[in-house]
Amino acid sequence: MATRVIGVDIGTTQVRAAEVELSGKGPGAGGSATLVNFATAQLPAGVVGDGEVLDTAGLAAVLKQLWASAKFSDKQVVVGFGNQRTVLRELELSSMPLAELRSSLPFQVAEMLPMSADEALLDFYPTAEVEVDGAKQLRGILVAASKHAVANAIVAVEAAGLRPIGVDLSAFALLRAQVFGDWAQQVVALVDIGARTTNVVVAQNGMPRFIRVLPSGGAEATDAVASAMKVSLPEAEEYKRRIGIGTEVGPEYQLAKDAIATTTKTLVDAVRNTFVYYAGNNPGAGIQHVVITGGGSHLPGLGQYLASASRLPVSFGDGFSRVKVAKKATTSVAGYETLGAIAVGLGMMEVSS
């Protein structure tokens, strides 16, 4: 049986929607995934901030427009979430059937949460069965987000006339869309650098072992260039994309170059620190490869910089590599290889509807 779901990635600068048809249980289980439609729309500043939807009416208007122009055949959507306030903890819980474990989560993890368990959207993603002191334990990742933050996205989606049938952590979507084949046999770090958010996911043999959402991205460099050069944000954006890091510039652009270098160093250091933390907790399972996506990954020189800072090979990801791209979608995906992964991964989520 084939099911169709439209994954919706609500970023700070853009919303991206990917309609995916899964046959069987999807590509990981003998079935397949086909991308039947893909479309994006720019978001006005202020609609999304801090990784949350701030203006639900504004987002609803953009979504309506997007559905009308891209002619999606369906209204069933899965929405991504996750920002720096989302609690993501690697932990071990006593082994029990997953449904039971999920319903007992509010009691088991209440003390770890910065909010009351009632206000939290809780999930546990099991990755391995382990034995600790002779007792069976489930190792996995606890996800706890504020219900309020996720609710705003749902309100906007419903106001646009769409039917939300699921939500998922954007980091899981990143992994679902990109980690298969060779990368599912290794330890890979996926790093999606957005405008205000950077997702870091370390996957071992295809399973997430470590996830962090950093509250920074490419926008800090633009802001810094604008204030150093006293230019508008669009102008600063242009300078940033042209100058990047490590290029020679004339004296009139030195301030811009320094601003980019400083903010990018902070971002790369933060990413590297997550690798160091992961390595400290997972001896013997070091990261072998880094895969970068997101608009921020296109800053000229960034890939090389991250490679030398982390001493790891770095390459660009491709959000469409795991799906068959239907003929109808081939033009709309062009140029979005590094920007579509989250939407595609959300569209690939198996939902029982």
Ligand X SMILES: Nc1ncnc2c1ncn2[C@@H]1O[C@H](COP(=O)(O)OP(=O)(O)OP(=O)(O)O)[C@@H](O)[C@H]1O
Alpha helices by DSSP H, listed for the chain, are 56-70, 98-109, 147-159, 170-178, 219-229, 233-243, 254-281, 302-310, 330-333, 341-347
- DSSP bridge partners of 135: 132
> Between 199 and 204, whose beta carbon lies closer to ligand X?
199
The answer to whether residue 11 forms part of the interface with Mg ion (CB under 5 A) is yes
Q: Please state, as a whole number, how many other Cβ atoms lie within 10 Å of the Cβ of residue 341.
A: 33
Alpha-carbon gap, residue 323 to 68, rounded angstroms: 24
Answer for which of 85, 241, 272, 324 binds ligand X (CB under 6 A) is: 241
The answer to whether residue 257 forms part of the interface with ligand X (CB under 6 A) is no
> Between 194 and 340, whose beta carbon lies closer to Mg ion?
194
Max alpha carbon distance in the chain (Å)? 67
The answer to whether residue 51 forms part of the interface with Mg ion (CB under 5 A) is no
What are the structure tokens assigned to 12, written together? 């700070």
Alpha-carbon gap, residue 35 to 25, rounded angstroms: 15
Choose among Mg ion, ligand X, none what residue 347 binds, the Cβ cut-off being 5 to 8 Å by kind.
none
Which residues within the stretch 164-203 sit at the binding site for ligand X (CB under 6 A)?
A: 194-197
What are the structure tokens assigned to 106, written together? 């509010």
Stretch that binds Mg ion, among 3-11, 21-29, 100-108, 320-328 (CB under 5 A): 3-11
Q: Give the shortest CB-66-to-ligand X separation in angstroms.
A: 14
Which residues within the stretch 49-78 sit at the binding site for ligand X (CB under 6 A)?
A: 51
Which residues within the stretch 194-213 sit at the binding site for Mg ion (CB under 5 A)?
A: 194
Choose among ligand X, Mg ion, none what residue 176 binds, the Cβ cut-off being 5 to 8 Å by kind.
none
> Between 152 and 197, whose beta carbon lies closer to ligand X?
197
> Between 11 and 347, whose beta carbon lies closer to Mg ion?
11
Residue type at 274? Answer: T
Question: Using CB atoms within 10 A of its CB, is residue 215 exposed (0-12), middle (13-18) or buried (19+)?
Answer: middle
* C-alpha R_g of the chain: 20
The answer to whether residue 127 forms part of the interface with ligand X (CB under 6 A) is no
> Between 22 and 256, whose beta carbon lies closer to ligand X?
256
- The answer to whether 51 and 79 are in contact (CB under 8 A) is no
> 174-184: b or e for each residue (b if 16 or more CB lie within 10 Å)?
bbbbbbeeebb
> Between 11 and 140, whose beta carbon lies closer to Mg ion?
11
Sites of contact with ligand X (CB under 6 A): 11-14, 51, 194-197, 217-219, 222, 237, 240-241, 294-296, 298-299, 339
